[in-house]
Structure formats: structure tokens, C-alpha cells
Amino acid sequence: MLNKKTILLIIIFFAITLSYSCSVFADTPDIDEGNWEITVTISMPGMQMPPTTYNNCLKKEDLVPFDSDPQSQQSQECKPQNIEVSGDTVSWTMNCEGMSGKGSITYQGDSLQGDIIINTGQGEMVQHLEGKRTGPCTE
């Protein structure tokens, strides 16, 4: 038979384990992992560029959509930092060559929507992102 001290230790262990599990699930947005097609529309005061589309394999441990093509300007100059998750929204900051910015996206299962705001020497550039899951990752 277990004594009271042993039972208390078991209860404390399970309480800590349960609270950790709840906090892990609370900080995971509603994302369907896999390959995503992401369309980016870039605008600056007085100028709007045509939308561009790229594919990205997104997983719960790598939630910031990022054009990883080595030829991409984003891949060469910018890296996300200070990534935070609040519900279904992921936000981050970034320092790029000659620029800084911040981004935020909200996942809704198999879709996402968000904005990246970059401060350049010529003003503020806004990248609006819309994405949808297209299937499993191909990597």
C-alpha cells in the first residue's frame, strides 16, 4: 500500500505534467502541416507590385512562412527572430540587410493570412500574405 507522501508526490508529478501539456497545446496554432502555396502582394506608398507565389513546407516547429529558394532576396537577406505564438497567430521581428521589420500571420487550419511590414530607407513596405495548404511536404 502506498503511503500519503508517495501519493502526494504522484499527484504533484501528474499535475506538473498536465500543466506542461496544456501549455504546449495552447501555444500551437491551428495549422495543417504540409506544403503551402503562399501569395505575396507588396505595396509601398505610390506603388504596388504584382502578386508573387511561392511554395513552403510548414510544420508546427517552423511556423514562419519563408521563401527558402536560395535565389530569393528574402532568403539571402532576412531571417525571422523573436518568434511568438498567441493562439492561432504567429508574430516575429526581422533584421535584414539595410532594413528591419515585423510580421504576423494567423492560421485557420488549411489557410493563412497576414502582413509583414518592412521599414526601408525609402519608406514602409507592406507584404500581404495569403496561403493555402496544397498537400504533404515534398521534401
pLDDT in tens, 2-16: 444 433 233 343 334
Q: Does domain 34-135 have CATH number 2.40.160?
A: yes
Model pTM above 0.85: no
CA distance 35 to 137: 5
pLDDT in tens, 13-31: 333 433 333 334 457 788 8
CA distance 5 to 10: 9
The terminus-to-terminus CA distance of the chain in angstroms comes to 53
Domains in the chain: boundaries: 1-28, 34-135
